[in-house]
Amino acid sequence: MHPHMKEILLDEQQIKERVLQLGQQITRDYQGQNILMVGILKGAMIFLADLVRNIDVPTSFDFMAVSSYGAGAVSSGAVRILKDLDKSIDGRHVIIVEDIVDTGLTLQYLVENMKARGPASLKICTLLDKPSRRKVDVPVDYNGFSIPDEFVVGYGLDYNERYRNLPYIAVLKPEIYRS
């Protein structure tokens, strides 16, 4: 385990099994349709890459980059578009893919923003959900794991842009983000 980690919350095998299940569920739900997966950079990148390889209906992807957290560990609530979608989503079956739903502020903004662009349908898929931290209600359609209120990194999730490349999800030692 990385020396900055307190404990591993979800190991590689647990993540792999759950991502397979989510892919199979999405495959069943979207029979006969084409999906547009919208990954929210940068956190969702690793999850999206693994998820789409477990989906067996025609799937394309696009990306949006937004930022609400800046350099800190606490959400500012202000969402900024850093990179917009490349193409129109009008008439498309869109699934927004996130690594984690925390306060819900990022997704609330994204859902409103994308609904206005006229998709045929819009769903949310997140690997992690931290329900205890929710400030606004967002309709999560696919959730990998509900987790306690601890600062987790790895498998796409960062602290100050670090640890995204860890293959597992772990709790960061408090002294690392306090220092």
Respond yes or no: is residue 56 known to be catalytic.
Answer: no
Site for Mn ion in 32-51 (CB under 5 A): 43
Contact partner at residue 68 from ligand PRP, Mn ion, Mg ion, none, CB < 5 to 8 Å by partner kind: ligand PRP
| Rounded least distance, CB 88 to Mg ion, Å | 28
| Rounded least distance, CB 158 to Mg ion, Å | 5
- What 3-state DSSP class applies to 112? helix
The reply on whether position 158 binds Mg ion by CB under 5 A is: yes
The reply on whether position 75 binds ligand PRP by CB under 6 A is: yes
Residue 44 burial by Cβ neighbours in a 10 Å radius (0-12, 13-18, 19+)? buried
Query: Catalytic one among 50, 99, 102, 129?
Result: 102
Select from 31, 26, 1, 15 the least CA-distant residue to 155.
Answer: 15
Select from 138, 131, 148, 136 the least CA-distant residue to 115.
Answer: 138
Site for ligand PRP in 93-132 (CB under 6 A): 98-106
Task: Say if CB 130 and CB 150 are below 8 A apart.
Answer: no
x/- contact string, 146-165, with ligand PRP (CB under 6 A)? ------------x-------
| Rounded least distance, CB 4 to ligand PRP, Å | 17
What is the DSSP annotation of 33-65?
--EEEEEEETTTHHHHHHHHTT--S-EEEEEEE
The reply on whether position 67 binds ligand PRP by CB under 6 A is: yes
Q: How many residues bind Mn ion (CB under 5 A)?
A: 1
Q: Which helix (H) or strand (E) covers residue 107, if one does?
A: helix 105-115
58/106 Cα distance (integer angstroms): 27
Q: Which is nearer to Mg ion, 53 or 135 (CB)?
A: 135
154/134 Cα distance (integer angstroms): 21
Task: Catalog residues that contact Mn ion under the rule CB under 5 A.
Answer: 43
Task: Catalog residues that contact Mg ion under the rule CB under 5 A.
Answer: 69, 158
Active site residues: 102
Task: Catalog residues that contact ligand PRP under the rule CB under 6 A.
Answer: 40-43, 67-69, 75, 98-106, 158
